[in-house]
Structure 1
Amino acid sequence: MHYPLSIPLVALLAATPPGQALSQEALTLGVTTNDEYGAYLVGPDDRPVYTLLTDLEAGDGQDPLDSCNEECREHWPVLMVEDELRVDDGLDPDLAETMDWQGERVATYGGHPLFYFVNDGPHQDPGGQGMFTYGGYWALLSPEGRPLRTDAMPAAGQE
């Protein structure tokens, strides 16, 4: 179940400078669906969240947080958590975790660090799915924690 977006969170998103990570005390992940991708994860503002797949053909093979450098984070902000990571109904709370990175706590789901795409807005269809930039392919995540693949993406480890 999704809960209404609060005005303070909208103000936080609008005030987040490009290249900065979105951070809030309690971050809640949700799930939504569309005809093209089926069910996928969204952040607390109903914007799609992504992970960076660097282990595919032409990927740089680095950890996604290392591959997505400062320039990358201007377009793909990392989801940071100050306090607690929560999930709405339809998501597995055991898959929602945080990891330490550069002195901050990054939201992960199914072991994948989570990012926003700056061109996606709340309640909009995902615009970054399948893009190849910054050393890998950007992919939405299913409620089971698996990256959603497009036809343009090679299989993992494919040479």
Structure 2
Amino acid sequence: MLSLRKFRFYGSTALGLAVALVVAACGSSSSSHHSSKHAASSTPTSTNASATSTAVKTVHSPLGTILVGPNGRTLYLWVADSMNKSNCSGACAKAWPPLTTTGKPGASGGAMSADLGTIARSGGTKQVTYKGHPLYYFIGDTAAHQVKGQGSTSFGAKWWVVAPSGAAITKAASSKSSSSGSSGGSSGGGWG
């Protein structure tokens, strides 16, 4: 009987110690998790497109081979931008978040590292460029490889997906409901 009491005492003590250790471990990791969550929420909207080591890569799409960001989301250029200068800010940058980085951008697939660069944005962030074109995501692309922004004229000029050559791909995207590319009547819009 005495040994059963000792077992219960030592067993409950060990269990209590184990619970205390687990709680302590969770407490310390949750505070670091909380601080990283706080850091992410205090940064501008474009951070959804950010990465410490940003990798631009290529994927095959119905529009051809296109550039995508590290999260697989399609990258666009805006014809209203100048070489190595973004003209998209405010509401434009909310709808078309810039691809930003805190480090040196890298490339994989058919994207070339030598063609990547950065420009300074207001607020001190660095936007990634490809062959001098500032790169953007489209807020309407909610999953990897979508091209819903292709050919958009929002904010006064055309938005195009980018080829590995750095050129704008001006081919019209097929509509969501069309599965076999027979889309007559897509207008050129005067931009090229």
Fold-level similarity (TM above 0.5)? yes
Q: Unaligned 5+ residue runs, structure 2? A: 1-36, 172-186
Instruction: Tell me how far 1:84 sits from its aligned partner.
Output: 1.7
Aligned to 1:7: none
Instruction: Tell me how far 1:144 sits from its aligned partner.
Output: 0.7
In 1, distance between residues paired with 2:41 and 2:98? 12
In 1, distance between residues paired with 2:191 and 2:142? 29
Report the structure, 1 or 2, having the larger helix content: 2
In 1, distance between residues paired with 2:189 and 2:59? 22
How many equivalent pairs are there? 137
Q: Normalization by structure 2: what TM-score?
A: 0.63
* 1:31 correspondence with 2:31: no
Q: Normalization by structure 1: what TM-score?
A: 0.74
Give the aligned CA root-mean-square deviation in angstroms.
2.8
Q: Which runs of 4+ in 1 moved over 4 A?
A: none
Give yes or no for contact 2:61–2:145 (8 Å, CA) kept in 1: no
In 1, distance between residues paired with 2:41 and 2:166? 27
- Higher relative contact order (Cα pairs below 8 Å, separated by 6+ residues): 1
* 1:51 correspondence with 2:77: yes
Q: Alignment partner for residue 20 of structure 1, among 45, 51, 73? A: 45
In 2, distance between residues paired with 1:28 and 1:85? 6
Aligned to 1:109: 130
Identity value in percent: 25
**Bigger Rg, which one:** 2
In 2, distance between residues paired with 1:86 and 1:153? 34
Give yes or no for contact 1:96–1:109 (8 Å, CA) kept in 2: yes
* 1:125 correspondence with 2:156: no
Matching residue's letter, 1:26: S
